[in-house]
Amino acid sequence: MDKKTILVIDDAPSNLILLNNLLSKDYRVKVANSGSRGIKLALVDDAPDLILLDVVMPELNGFEVCDVLKKNRKARHIPIIFLTTLFHEAEVQRGLALGAADFISKPVSSQELANKITACFAQAREYAHDPYD
């Protein structure tokens, strides 16, 4: 069985390295160090199955990246989990309103990361088999 692909979008190289190390055993990992690069990688033919997206980034922040992707027919189905130190109710509500699947607080707990990714993929499978869709 092919490994699922996770795209990590974060401007901090240390976060990209950490997440790649945590995920690469079980998933194919692609990384992008900016929102614009992340958008390009999300829109390729071999699109990721999930995106882990930092909220606070220069140029395009995570909310802006999420908005672009969720408005794109080719990418709107890709689940997005925000990674953030901003864990205020207003930011959570904004992200969910944009279409995010979940939030993970930084610093990232490997167990929380694994649990939320597993739950996100399980939910995606459930929706893929929805007879009312």
Domain boundaries, the chain: 5-128
Higher pLDDT, residue 88 or 119: 119
Q: Which CATH number fits domain 5-128: 3.40.50.300, 3.40.50.2300, 3.40.605.10, 3.40.50.410?
A: 3.40.50.2300
Of residues 132 and 59, the one with the higher pLDDT is 59
Tens digit of each residue's pLDDT (9 = 90 or more) over 2-33: 899 999 999 999 999 999 999 999 999 999 99
Confidence of residue 132 (pLDDT cuts 50, 70, 90): very low
79-100 pLDDT, tens digit per residue, is 999 999 877 889 999 999 999 9
Label residue 117 exposed, middle or buried (CB < 10 Å: 0-12, 13-18, 19+). buried
pLDDT at 123: 85
Angle among Cα 67, 82, 24 to the nearest 5 degrees reads: 120
**What SS3 state is found at 50?**
strand
Can you tell me the distance from the alpha carbon of 15 to that of 24, in angstroms, rounded to the nearest whole number? 14
Is residue 65 over pLDDT 50? yes
Q: How confident is the model over 45-58, as pLDDT tens digits? A: 999 999 999 999 99
Q: What is the pLDDT of residue 29?
A: 98
- pTM: predicted TM-score of the whole model, two decimal places: 0.92
* pLDDT attached to residue 85: 86
- What pLDDT is attached to residue 23? 97
